[in-house]
Amino acid sequence: MSVSFNIASELLSAANDEQLSEDELIGLVLGFTIVFSALQARLASELSKRKFKVAADAKASARSQIRKLRDRLLDSDKASAGTDPAMRLALLEQLNEQFEEPFVNEAARDALDKLSDRRSMLDFLYLLVSICQRITVAISVQLLAASVKAQQPSRLVRTVSLIGLATFFVFVESLTNRTVV
């Protein structure tokens, strides 16, 4: 918080030097905060979609492998003689029901584990935007708090305003951690 306080103080000084009003500065910083929040939500959505696609591809690949093995087993059953094909088919279906879903789910879990070990440019960009968003939120809070302190003569009004400000930004922060899919 002390770093964001110092950044906010420097921004206020720079705004005064450039003859930019405090309200305009707050609007600019809040605008950047909103842009970074929207970008963060979009990147989180893309990361979520990527995880879903990787898991779906792994499941499809595992099902394809099972289908190939089943077809190969059925082809070898046709070639062998002396065994009841209906009994072999029933046994094959029973084994398929018991082992296909755990195998497919394990393939998806393995693919997601591999994905979590590899970082992409999208992961880096998400981290960078997340950091920028948090910084701009902290600076916005400091700028608004400085504005409240400078404009409100009553201590009670300042205290209530600052509590409302803190509550609002806690609410905003909780909304930025949600993923839109």
pLDDT in tens, the chain (181 residues): 577 778 888 888 888 888 888 888 888 998 998 899 889 889 988 988 988 888 888 888 888 887 787 777 767 656 555 556 666 667 667 667 667 778 888 888 888 888 877 888 888 999 999 999 888 988 888 888 888 887 778 888 878 888 887 787 777 677 666 655 5
Q: Give the chain's count of helices (H) and strands (E).
A: 5, 0
- 74: in domain: yes
Asked whether residue 96 is domain-assigned, the answer is: yes
Overall residue count recorded for the chain in this entry:
181
Model pTM score: 0.68
State the total domains in the chain. Answer: 1
User: For residue 48, is it within any domain?
Assistant: yes
Residue 127: predicted pLDDT: 92
Residue 174 near residue 56 (C-beta atoms within 8 A): no
18 within some domain: yes
Confirm if 30 and 138 have CB atoms less than 8 A apart. Answer: no
Q: How far is CA 181 from CA 7, 36, 39, 107, 133, in A?
A: 35, 18, 14, 23, 20
**DSSP state, 80?**
S
Domain that holds residue 9: 2-176
22: which 2 tokens?
A: 């405090």
**What is the model's pLDDT at position 78?**
60
Query: Is residue 119 classed as helix, strand or coil in its secondary structure?
Result: coil
pLDDT of res. 129:
94
Q: Give residue 88's pLDDT.
A: 66
Structure tokens at 80: 């062998």
**Cα-based angle 172, 177, 181 (whole degrees, multiple of 5):** 120
Tell whether 64 is covered by a domain: yes
Q: Radius of gyration (Cα) for the chain, nearest Å?
A: 29
Phi and psi at 119, nearest 5°, equal -105, 140
Residue 133 lies in a domain: yes
Structure confidence at residue 118 (pLDDT)? 81
| Domain assignment of residue 181, yes or no | no
Class of residue 80 by CB neighbours under 10 A (exposed 0-12, middle 13-18, buried 19+): exposed
Residue 35: what pLDDT?
93
Exposed/middle/buried for residue 1 (C-beta within 10 Å: 0-12, 13-18, 19+): exposed
Structure tokens at 29: 């910083």
Q: Is residue 166 part of a domain?
A: yes
